[in-house]
Amino acid sequence: MDENVRRALQSGLYIVEKNLNRIRNTLQHAEEASVLYSTKDDIEPELKGMLLAIMFSMVEVIKLLKGTFDLQAQQETTRRHVCSYLFENWKILHECKPKRLRGYGELGMQERELLDHHIDKLLAMNGQLQATLLTKSANAPRP
């Protein structure tokens, strides 16, 4: 198999496998309550079992293709995932600043000051998470 074809196949199957793992995780931990959202489990246990069985079969085919076409497994780190989530938070929080929200409508002076204060606080805590992750882990490779 041509190396470019192998890389394309590996990339595609990687995404499919990642999505299957996310679906499995969602099915196994369906009820979730947070501050701004909640998830209601609306899939019956019997249907979950059927979905999980099909997904297991899909993963088996991916394993077969990996062996057949000598596809390489990628190693990912938790650190890399957490860093990418924190960077995404940083971008989104900056988009929540009052000066960026102007395009959506008007904010009063008091609302702008309050929002700025709390968004800045969230940005600082997000930065603290990142700094803690990057400086407090001894002997851990950097992302």
> What is d(CA 10, CA 3) in angstroms, rounded to the nearest whole number?
10
Asked whether the whole model's pTM tops 0.75, one would answer: yes
Tokens (6 digits) for 80: 């890399």
SS3 state at 39:
strand
> What is d(CA 8, CA 3) in angstroms, rounded to the nearest whole number?
9
Residues 94 and 123 sit within 8 Å (Cβ to Cβ): yes
pLDDT tens readout for residues 58-116: 999 999 999 999 999 999 999 999 999 999 999 999 999 999 999 999 999 999 999 99
Q: Closest by alpha carbon to 57, among 16, 6, 29?
A: 16
